Amino acid sequence: MKKVIILWVVLMTLGNCVYAQKNVTVDKDAIITEIGMLVNDRSFNIALRKCNSALEIFPEDAALYYWKGTIESSLGNKKSALQAYNKSIELNPDYAKTYVMRGICKLGLGDREGALNDYNKAIELDPKNSSAYSMRAIMKLEFGDYAGASQDLEISDKLINEK
């Protein structure tokens, strides 16, 4: 009888643990907001820890990889940032902001052509992305396309003023 009671207690405990795990909800949007706030506060190491923890729960979330790339880049870890941006784009190839950020990262790594391609892709996906035009203008200046750079800066300025 004692063994049956112990077994029953163990099963009930395990059942409650499983039940509790099934009912635990994690608000991914709240986590992403918190990470963004930490980045804005320049608390990059804390933000990176939270981001890595969130990726353990949501390993297929493009936004978390975007933030991880942004944080890694801010910490000077350009290669890690590039990997995170690549994963974000793999998971969501239609998010223009990730291409802009990856372009900035590529530029930091000396890949000017890759950066220009990313800015072009960002503009293709979101023709109202002023940052993409500004960054592309910088690249066009580096490549000696002064007229193209001027045109991109005018578009960027117009988009900023529309907001």
| Tens digit of each residue's pLDDT (9 = 90 or more) over 65-98 | 999 999 999 999 999 999 999 999 999 999 999 9
Q: How far is CA 51 from the centre of its chain?
A: 10
> Residue 26 in contact with residue 57, Cβ under 8 Å?
yes
> Residue 96 in contact with residue 128, Cβ under 8 Å?
no
- Cα dist from 11 to 4, 16, 18, 113, whole Å: 10, 8, 10, 61
Q: How large is the average pLDDT for residues 13-17? A: 42
The answer to whether residue 52 is domain-embedded is yes
The answer to whether residue 50 is domain-embedded is yes
The answer to whether residue 108 is domain-embedded is yes
Q: Are residues 101 and 158 in the same domain?
A: yes
The answer to whether residue 117 is domain-embedded is yes
Q: Containing domain of residue 102, as a range?
A: 94-163
Q: Are residues 67 and 99 in the same domain?
A: no
Q: Are residues 73 and 98 in the same domain?
A: no
Report pLDDT digits (tens) over 16-72: 433 334 444 668 889 999 999 999 999 999 999 999 999 999 999 999 999 999 999
Q: Please state the domain count of the chain.
A: 2
Q: Are residues 67 and 100 in the same domain?
A: no
